[in-house]
């Protein structure tokens, strides 16, 4: 097995490291976090550096990249203290590029080229979290128009993104298989009838997350994305690569927390010697390192499998599950090593600790990952 990076990957990461040093200093991240502000300046720098179009097919003006490279970039951003959401649009727009109409694709790409999130992912509702089949938002045809009614919950980017990719159920459904009642709609966030109210979260302060109320939002047939009744299948083509992207971001933030804590362990003197001289601290450092190595192996291998067209239903769910838990443990140990200072906003480990926690919930909870992987693993033994 060859774990060496290619020359192109080395060069790409070196230019990214330079960009991170210049455009993503910790002082700026801290300021954005404290003010609950989107880090626009950093996103603009990533876009200008070409990272916003990395992974987008050439026909849409992008620079193709394999999955391993995409994951290396994600890891490098969070390893240097950047936020998870700042990279990966090319993966999340995949369903639009595959199923969107030429006009919808153009609208998506206009946003991506400008460094904006193109759309809000409109799945979750108050009664439909892990159970997407319980989605109650409806679409209904009246007088040659289509009307959307419902309530979406936890909509990230709802204050900024121009569209919502809205999963809705046919109000007049008769389908025997209820999953065929769901379709995707391209819903402009500025339309009358759309109301977004931000949630007050304990972390993830650089990105808004909102309740979104949809009250008779008027669309037309051209706003359907892909095929009617195919909403779930279309949504799922992206899940596995997105799970892996989350895992890669978690790997980077675990490395970031680890390095801050390791440096601190060498500097902080108590009882006349650096705290890192104590075996209890060395035990933490060693276990953190093992977890990071495991995370890296799972992420890189799964990325390699995707690039080699090997099915990753199991390995992407395992990577997301393991990395979400291990990164949380690493961040928690890092905070413990830093003692009281770790519990203040002056220390970035406190931000990593808060922001890591969400990934055991978002993008599919730990329990859902166990459900996905567990069923698939056992299938091989029946």
Ligand X SMILES: Cc1cc2nc3c(=O)[nH]c(=O)nc-3n(C[C@H](O)[C@H](O)[C@H](O)COP(=O)(O)OP(=O)(O)OC[C@H]3O[C@@H](n4cnc5c(N)ncnc54)[C@H](O)[C@@H]3O)c2cc1C
**Taking CB under 6 A as the rule, does residue 29 contact ligand X?**
no
**Taking CB under 6 A as the rule, does residue 155 contact ligand X?**
yes
Q: Which residue is nearest to ligand X (CB)?
A: 129
Binder of ligand X out of 33, 38, 42, 123 (CB under 6 A): 123
Binder of ligand X out of 12, 45, 117, 121 (CB under 6 A): 121
**Taking CB under 6 A as the rule, does residue 137 contact ligand X?**
no
Q: Give the whole-angstrom CA distance, residue 250 versus residue 300.
A: 13
Residue 20 vs 155, nearer CB to ligand X: 155
**Taking CB under 6 A as the rule, does residue 211 contact ligand X?**
no
The closest alpha carbon to 70, from 50, 51, 47, belongs to 51
Site string for ligand X, 311-350 (x = CB under 6 A): ----------------------------------------
**Taking CB under 6 A as the rule, does residue 89 contact ligand X?**
no
Q: Are 191 and 131 in contact (CB under 8 A)?
A: no
Residue 162's contacts (CB-CB under 8 Å, 6 or more residues apart) are 107, 111, 116, 118, 119, 188, 189, 190
Residue 154 vs 163, nearer CB to ligand X: 154
- Interface with ligand X: number of residues (CB under 6 A): 17
Residue 34's contacts (CB-CB under 8 Å, 6 or more residues apart) are 205, 345
Beta-ladder partners of 163: 119, 188
Min dist CB 343 to ligand X, Å, is 22
Residue 103 vs 367, nearer CB to ligand X: 367
Q: Which residues of 193-228 are buried (b: 16+ CB within 10 A; e: fewer)?
A: ebebeeeeeeebbbbbbbbbebeebebeeebbbbee
**Taking CB under 6 A as the rule, does residue 154 contact ligand X?**
yes
125's tokens: 């509702």
Residue 109's contacts (CB-CB under 8 Å, 6 or more residues apart) are 56, 60, 61, 118
Site string for ligand X, 347-376 (x = CB under 6 A): -----------x--xx--x-xx--------
- Which positions touch ligand X (CB under 6 A)? 121, 123-124, 129-130, 154-156, 201, 204, 209, 358, 361-362, 365, 367-368
């Amino acid at each position: 097995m060859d774990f060496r990076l290619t020359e192109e990957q080395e060069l790409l990461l070196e230019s990214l490291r330079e960009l991170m040093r210049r455009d993503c200093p910790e002082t700026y991240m801290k300021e954005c976090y404290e003010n609950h502000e989107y880090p626009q300046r950093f996103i603009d720098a990533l876009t200008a550096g070409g990272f916003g179009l990395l992974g987008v097919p050439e026909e849409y003006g992008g620079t193709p990249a394999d999955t391993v490279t995409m994951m290396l970039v994600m890891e490098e951003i969070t390893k240097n203290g950047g936020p998870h959401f700042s990279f990966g649009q090319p993966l999340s727009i995949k369903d639009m590029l595959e199923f969107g109409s030429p006009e919808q694709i153009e609208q998506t790409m206009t946003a991506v080229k400008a460094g904006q999130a193109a759309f809000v992912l409109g799945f979750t509702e108050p009664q439909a979290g892990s159970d997407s089949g319980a989605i109650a938002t409806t679409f209904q045809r009246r007088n040659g128009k289509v009307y959307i009614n419902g309530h979406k919950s936890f909509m990230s980017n709802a204050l900024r993104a121009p569209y919502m990719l809205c999963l809705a159920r046919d109000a007049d459904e008769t389908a025997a298989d209820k999953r065929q009642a769901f379709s995707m709609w391209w819903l402009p966030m500025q339309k009358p009838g759309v109301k977004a109210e931000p949630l007050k979260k304990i972390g993830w302060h650089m990105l808004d997350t909102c309740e979104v109320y949809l009250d008779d939002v008027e669309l037309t047939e051209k706003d359907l994305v892909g095929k009617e009744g195919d909403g779930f299948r279309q949504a799922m083509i992206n899940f596995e690569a997105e799970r892996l992207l989350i895992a890669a971001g978690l790997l980077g933030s675990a490395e970031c927390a680890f390095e801050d804590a390791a440096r601190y362990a060498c500097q902080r003197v108590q009882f006349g010697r650096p705290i890192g001289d104590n075996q209890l601290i060395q035990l933490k450092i060693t276990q953190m390192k093992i977890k990071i190595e495991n995370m890296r192996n799972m992420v890189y291998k799964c990325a390699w499998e995707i690039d080699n067209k090997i099915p990753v239903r199991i390995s992407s769910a395992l990577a997301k599950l393991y990395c979400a838990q291990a990164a949380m443990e690493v961040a928690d140990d890092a905070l413990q090593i830093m003692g009281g200072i770790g519990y203040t906003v002056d220390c970035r480990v406190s931000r990593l600790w808060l922001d890591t926690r969400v990934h055991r919930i978002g993008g599919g909870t730990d329990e859902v990952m166990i459900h996905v992987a567990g069923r698939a693993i056992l299938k091989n033994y029946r």
